[in-house]
Structure 1
Amino acid sequence: MTRAQRKDFALLTEDLSPEQRIKLDQLLEQRSGSPYSALSWLRMPPGAPTPRAVLAHVERLNAIRDLALSPEDGKNLHQNRLLQLAREAGQTAVYQLKAYEQARRHGTLVALMIETAATLTDEIVDLNDRLIGSFFTKAKHKYERAFAEQGKAINDKVRLYARVGAALVDAREQGHDPFAAMKRSHPGILSLPA
């Protein structure tokens, strides 16, 4: 089992450059101006669907992309094993990851970064969908409020048009001048805006 684990870690780390290894180790260090390690920051939950949350997640995804891990790094390993390593890493404290021997630490972090990048992408899409949905909901409520506020004025106009229509029909049936009938029944009607 130990040999199999070592082989898994070797498969995940065989193409890593020295710079990538340094960047992976830096994930376990505290971020400047933050009480969290870079790894903890990368794995923060999305929170409420706001533009700021989407941008924060995009920043996290870009930080993972800056590691320049190859998309092929995780393909050498069975998907279930990769997911298992990522889950184990997610439940491991940063100080424990620091104590791992180098191959295990880097292999574990590669698996975790591959899984975290996929999770962040899914969460960004979800945040975006929820954000757009909230925009539509707000616009719908705004429209409904405006319609309700304008409802009385609309109803008054409809009643006015109904009375004018009745006066016109009555004038036509009796053979009277329709304009005169409108002026009699509603003075100033011809000067109303459309």
Structure 2
Amino acid sequence: MDRLVRRPSGVRSWQGGQRVVRIRPAGSGSWQQAAGLGPGRLHRTEDGALTLLWSEPAAAGGGQSTVKPARLAAGATACGAAQEVVTTALGGGLTFAGNAAGRQVVAWMAADRRLTVVERSGAQGAWTAPVELDRLPEPIGRPDNVCDYRLTELRAAVAVDGATALIWASAPVTSTATASRTWSPWTPPTGSG
């Protein structure tokens, strides 16, 4: 269980591998209390605002997660209310970008191997329906190994005029079978090749 503990030195520390966010508002000499943040990211938009983007288990369960951003406007002392963007089965690679006019994009790799994106034209606008941009190949299984593709990079950007770009990359990961039929990562051969 994730919990906040006090170390002997008086420094507070999160346990359990949870991401933590602390904010020091502009003009303030002190940091706000730490808050737990699920798998997520911190982004700065060109208007000087900060956006926290994270996911948390959906109320309905079933392996679904709800993606939420919360925005700390320039000069504000607290984030605005978190908004629910989408509920989906995440497979990794969650990212966000936005511009000063409020245009925003959220992209992720879904558990079904689909690179998916949603957008909205302004900070108060509705999010679009999810759009599939790409799909990673299915794993290739052989008696002695499995080759699987994994997302290795996902980044987004939104220009001043609203143009949006995503960069992503994937790489094959090969695993070999052992006598017990469990899988271990492939290790490249060494030597004078």
Give the TM-score normalised by the residue count of structure 2.
Answer: 0.19
Task: Choose 1 or 2 for highest CA Rg.
Answer: 1
> Larger helix proportion, structure 1 or 2?
1
Give the TM-score normalised by the residue count of structure 1.
Answer: 0.19
Q: Greater relative contact order: 1 or 2 (C-alpha under 8 angstroms, separation 6 or more)?
A: 1
